[in-house]
Structure 1
Amino acid sequence: MGLLTLVVTALALTRGASAAFGLTSTSTRFKVDTDGGLVFEVNRSNGDITSLKYNGIEYQGTGKASAINSGLGTSTVTGETINGYVKITVKASSLPLTHYFVAKPKEPTIYMATYITGEIDPGELRWLARLRTSELPTGVHGDAGDTRGCEAFEGKDTFKCANGRTSCKMYTSDRFIDDKVHCVSGSKASVCMVMPGVAYESSASGPFMRDINSQTGSSDQELYWYMNSGHVRTEPWRFGLQGPYAMAFTAAGAKPSENLDTGFFGGLSIQGYVASNGRGSVSGATSGVPEQFETVVHWHNTAAQYWTKANNGTYKSPLMKPGTYSMKLYKQEFLVANDTVTITAGQTTSKDIASKEPSTPAIWRIGNFDGQPRDLKNGDKIERMHPSDSRMGTWGGSFTVGTSSAKDFPMALWSKEGGTATVTFTLTQAQVKAHVLRIGTTLSFKGGRPSVKIGSWTGADPGAPKLIDSRGLTRGAYRGWGDVYTWNVPASAFKAGSNTLTVGVYGSGDASWLSANYIVDALELQD
């Protein structure tokens, strides 16, 4: 035997099972070799992933397995090779859930889908990969969800770290409309969740919903994809097939394509899967949204949800399941039109939609009515930090019309923290008349809503908004119902010269940052 033959043989032995695509099994596990560098193992009693080796390195965490939620418990787990793909089916014994793992030759990717027929205890549905922090130390959005060396101070999920930095796994979230790929990474590899095509169609709460993407601990790097949760959710659960979605391994710093082809699921007998030829679409023109704002079109019913961004006044939807849908048009995240549309399989329906937002002149306006607080004080930080974070600016404050900028008005107000906000403005004698005061909010907690006072006039309590029973502002969320409050302010409240509006909070609470609060979208005094 020559030297070259010995070297080749040694390399083959070193690579071991990573030599050919396929499925093997023992009494306790299924083992899948993707022939793309990834070899993974699935527990045959519960469907947990117990090993994730990529290019010979183990990435599966050492404490707990990777699984739906924190594991499905006793399940019926079957494996097969079908049409050239490996398919593992996990049917939970005590939950209305079936989960699928699929492998495609030559790809270091685990394709997945999750079929449900009812809500899952404890009220959320997620894929959770528990990976090794030693190999993948960088989470989504860097240290936003890094809890190493930190101490919990609000619930069990929000942490105070060195130098006043705060951390929470919710701070790693992004809007569903933007969150198509998110990754954790290290020096040798990145591991990414990919939500291609219509992966979100059976999730809840629309294009601007956000949920946990990662959490970095001392031993485990947790990588998530949330399908449903109670984290500032504004819709009931949807049932049926969640996905397809995928977990992909790549070279360090690289991202897989957001347009993974999942059409091959149509030949794998995946429960609830609807192929392209069983779907339809809608296209048309949008109008009335100023060009500086993103234009978003959204469709939803009790079974499915979809969205797209318009481009140069035109849009085309993703492929949608047949049915009748509510149709919404947003200026950024601010609702400006409602309609309905019916989708038929194999057809593209034509439907135009125009903004119905009234154009009302204002004496002054602070911020933009766009459904986001980012143009106000601390609005550029709140998605990634707790309000008490040392990197935040002060709360409350004074705004003077004509000299202050939007960044001087706080993006949130609390009943027990941060103080009130004031707006000082000047009126001419001709402007001393009745006006309409309008305040837009994006999210409320514990019934928080604006209180307003101008001179000797105090505006009536508008009443508590519809409750969203979830922490939001302190966990980086700003999107809720999007309530807009108006007051008819009599002429007697005003005077020629300087006037002051004081904005506070109706509501209460038992802790400073968790007292009644609301997030401000914009406010204006109409002419």
Structure 2
Amino acid sequence: MHLFSGAAALLALSQRANAAFGLTSTSSRYIVDTDGGLVFEVNRSNGDITSLKYNGVEYQGTGKASAINSGLGTSSVTGETVNGYVKITVKSNSLPVTQYFVAKPKEAIIYMATYNSKEVDPGELRWLARLRTSELPTGVHGNVGDTRGCTAFEGKDTFKCSNGETRCKMYTSDRFIDDKVHCVSGSKAQVCMIMPGTAYETSASGPFMRDINSQTGDSDQELYWYMNSGHVRTEPWRFGLQGPYAMAFTSPNNKPSEDLDMSFFGSLSIQGYVAASGRGSVTGSATGVPSQFETVVHWFNKDAQYWTKASNGKYTSPLMKPGAYSMRLYKQEFLVANDTVTVAAGQTATKDIASKEQNKPVIWRIGEFDGQPFDLKNGDKIERMHPSDTRMGSWGGSFAAESLKAKDFPMALWSKQGGTASVTFTLTQDQVKGHVIRVGTTLSFKGGRPSVKINSWTGNDPGAPVLIDSRGITRGAYRGWGDVYTWDVPSSAFKVGSNTLTLGVYGSGDATWLSANYILDALELQD
């Protein structure tokens, strides 16, 4: 056994020493040796990746191939060497999509870009690597997307395990502004998606959009990069070049850098690629956001989107395509200012933006108006598990404002689940006057919006928000329109001493977690 293992190791080293960077082909496939430990194969009839060998180990899954969506179908597939790089171009015959695979010498990386000229049925565009679970058993964020041994209970994508814990591939997601590298891993290697620079510029729904990163099944470990989907999407699709992006193979616990240089794509005749020389930027001050919150600046139009985090009140945008842009300033994820700016190639525009948020005196406030529910009860869990998970705390309840901590107040309410949430509070004679109730939400489902009642007074139905036709909270999503509702409450609604606010839900639906619901940002009674 030891002699055989040693001989196998010597043979692998010998084969590795004789490897050379380049492209070879057979009648059915292109074979790319990166001379960096990675050899991959591309089907010449449809552009699927059918083999991914890293340091002699096969990582490609045993079922379906790795491809855009579930494959581009019959395609025109060409392979060539351009300026010292291997370039494979896949033009689908039936879909408005062209896929590029590029290799550089001495790197275990597949560089990619995806060009789409219109929306693709069934409404999503994603890179999906189907890898071997036996070699890469750990998904993004551990086991949150590991469905092995669990049973689907909501749709075909949300699962419950025998111990009451829940799993879903959506629970592996992270905000686009933070999601620059994510990996699946095993004992010998990890495989990572890298989205550097302006990789998200032709995606949709801004810096706080999140989408599937991995799913662990019995045979396949699925590694994703979602460019566009309908998963709580708040903008129409954008078209053009998605990326460039990359899939890298490394040793375990050796996460690759997010600062991957993609400038060499400018020498490869990639459709839709805009080099740095054809771009401009924006710089300036972003002020008025308290220091305990992130200051996020966001630019977008129908063709592109960009963002950055300001530091010490200053920001510089990524390099942007020329054009006129809407510009937004966020306190964490809470919108506090709007503006516009025009970007020209080769130039840096200057634009200052300041928060217009008005913080009025309050009698009490629960949570922070920051566009996130994480400071409220169960908010620390909702990205990674279903609200019915046994690890969740209870929903609804009664609370006293004077002693209430945000972490004790539920971060979501349902029309048919969990019950209402009530807040008791005490007023003095001087405080019995007209007040304003302000309720911030981050996401609504099935038209769910707040209902408010103070003592015997009931606030008007504010009307359903704009529908986002996608499951949200049950799939770990919390970010939608960020609607804020206000009610002018007359003095007659209040009394000296104890008062009770009851917070509920307008909306309908069946008696499941998919009934009308909304996620709370914060609520307050203004003085």
TM bucket normalised to smaller: over 0.9
CA positional deviation for 1:18: 6.5
**Aligned AA for 2:417?**
E
Structure 2, unmatched stretches of 5+, are: 1-6
CA positional deviation for 1:476: 0.2
Q: Is the 8 A contact 1:437 1:486 kept in 2?
A: yes
Match of 2:340 in 1: 340
How many angstroms apart in 2 are the aligned matches of 1:505 and 1:440? 13
Cα deviations by residue, 1:419-448 (Å, 9 ceiling, x for unpaired) = 000011111000000001000000000000
What are the within-5 Å matches in structure 2 for residues 67-86 of structure 1? 67-86=67-86
How many angstroms apart in 2 are the aligned matches of 1:10 and 1:343? 57
Q: Is the 8 A contact 2:41 2:52 kept in 1?
A: yes
What are the within-5 Å matches in structure 2 for residues 286-435 of structure 1? 286-435=286-435
How many angstroms apart in 1 are the aligned matches of 2:348 and 2:189? 41
**Aligned AA for 2:77?**
V
CA positional deviation for 1:404: 1.5
Match of 2:3 in 1: none
How many angstroms apart in 1 are the aligned matches of 2:242 and 2:498? 57
CA positional deviation for 1:63: 0.4
How many angstroms apart in 2 are the aligned matches of 1:127 and 1:158? 21
How many angstroms apart in 2 are the aligned matches of 1:135 and 1:18? 25
Q: Do residues 207 (structure 1) and 207 (structure 2) align?
A: yes
Q: Is the 8 A contact 1:131 1:222 kept in 2?
A: yes
How many angstroms apart in 1 are the aligned matches of 2:357 and 2:280? 29
**SS of corresponding position for 1:359:** coil
CA positional deviation for 1:8: 13
**SS of corresponding position for 2:264:** helix
Q: Is the 8 A contact 2:283 2:316 kept in 1?
A: yes
Larger displacement relative to structure 2 (495-504 or 15-24)? 15-24
**Aligned AA for 2:384?**
R
How many angstroms apart in 2 are the aligned matches of 1:399 and 1:481? 28
CA positional deviation for 1:17: 9.2
1:18/1:506 CA distance change after superposition, 3 Å = farther
Aligned residue pairs total 521
How many angstroms apart in 2 are the aligned matches of 1:366 and 1:118? 44
**Aligned AA for 2:314?**
T
TM-score (norm 2): 0.98
Q: Is the 8 A contact 1:398 1:408 kept in 2?
A: no
CA positional deviation for 1:511: 3.7
Cα deviations by residue, 1:291-336 (Å, 9 ceiling, x for unpaired) = 0000000000000000000001100000000000000000000000
1:8/1:469 CA distance change after superposition, 3 Å = closer
1:486/1:77 CA distance change after superposition, 3 Å = same
CA positional deviation for 1:493: 0.5
Q: Is the 8 A contact 1:427 1:496 kept in 2?
A: yes
Match of 1:240 in 2: 240
**Aligned AA for 1:346?**
G
Q: Is the 8 A contact 1:18 1:35 kept in 2?
A: no
Match of 2:474 in 1: 474
1:108/1:427 CA distance change after superposition, 3 Å = same
CA positional deviation for 1:15: 1.6
Match of 1:56 in 2: 56
How many angstroms apart in 1 are the aligned matches of 2:341 and 2:245? 27
CA positional deviation for 1:250: 0.4
Q: Is the 8 A contact 1:17 1:33 kept in 2?
A: no
**Aligned AA for 1:58?**
E
How many angstroms apart in 2 are the aligned matches of 1:304 and 1:18? 45
How many angstroms apart in 1 are the aligned matches of 2:267 and 2:12? 34
How many angstroms apart in 2 are the aligned matches of 1:296 and 1:511? 38
**Aligned AA for 2:477?**
A
CA positional deviation for 1:407: 1.2
Q: Is the 8 A contact 1:193 1:245 kept in 2?
A: yes
How many angstroms apart in 2 are the aligned matches of 1:286 and 1:211? 28
1:260/1:168 CA distance change after superposition, 3 Å = same
Match of 1:143 in 2: 143
**Aligned AA for 1:198?**
T
Q: Is the 8 A contact 2:374 2:380 kept in 1?
A: yes
Q: Is the 8 A contact 2:438 2:524 kept in 1?
A: yes
How many angstroms apart in 1 are the aligned matches of 2:176 and 2:12? 43
**SS of corresponding position for 1:171:** helix
How many angstroms apart in 1 are the aligned matches of 2:56 and 2:378? 45
What are the within-5 Å matches in structure 2 for residues 18-29 of structure 1? 19-29=19-29
**Aligned AA for 1:160?**
K
How many angstroms apart in 2 are the aligned matches of 1:262 and 1:54? 22
Cα deviations by residue, 1:186-234 (Å, 9 ceiling, x for unpaired) = 0000000000000000000000000000000010000000000000000
Q: Do residues 277 (structure 1) and 277 (structure 2) align?
A: yes
How many angstroms apart in 2 are the aligned matches of 1:204 and 1:444? 19
How many angstroms apart in 2 are the aligned matches of 1:194 and 1:103? 15
How many angstroms apart in 2 are the aligned matches of 1:8 and 1:359? 69
TM-score (norm 1): 0.98
CA positional deviation for 1:162: 2.7
**SS of corresponding position for 1:265:** helix
